Amino acid sequence: MNEKTWTWPRPPSWSFAAALAFAMALPATAGEAETPFKMDMPLGCVAGESCWIVNYVDHDPTDGIRDYTCGETTYNLRSKRWGNRHLGTDIAIRDLGAMRRGVEVLAAAAG
């Protein structure tokens, strides 16, 4: 009786796996580039003229403050759930008259 020893197929080398992953990603990146994601001011106002961003999200998880530019246009807001961080963007409008007339609230992005 002739016995054959079964051996598992050798796993593909890392270079083969990397080449396969690259080849699979090509169709997803081929063709025209997608339009970059863009957000607009979520209010019906003119930024810098009739409304302004006054505070950004606090990106510093400690007691310090840091906005997205590593500046300090933010503040701490103590919360049991979120800790010592401000998690929103504050937008101011021109004056009380504009508030009484109303400012349209819009979607910041399509979709």
Residue bearing the bigger pLDDT, 41 or 30: 41
The closest alpha carbon to 44, from 107, 108, 110, 104, belongs to 104
Domain that holds residue 80: 52-101
Tally of structural domains, the chain: 1
Residue 27: predicted pLDDT: 60
* Torsion, CA 94, CA 100, CA 101, CA 105, rounded to 10: 70
Query: Mean pLDDT, to the nearest integer, of 33-56?
Result: 88
Give whole-number Cα distances, 14 to 9, 17, 22, 53, in Å. Answer: 15, 5, 12, 49
**Separation CA 108–CA 103 (nearest Å):** 14
The closest alpha carbon to 91, from 24, 22, 14, 39, belongs to 39
Lowest mean pLDDT among 2-6, 31-35, 61-65: 2-6
> Would residue 43 count as lying in a domain?
no
* pLDDT of 49 over the 90 cut: yes
Residue 21: predicted pLDDT: 65
pLDDT tens string 7-35: 555 555 555 666 666 666 666 555 566 78
The closest alpha carbon to 59, from 36, 91, 82, belongs to 82
Averaged confidence pLDDT in the chain: 79
Give whole-number Cα distances, 25 to 19, 21, 111, in Å. Answer: 10, 6, 26
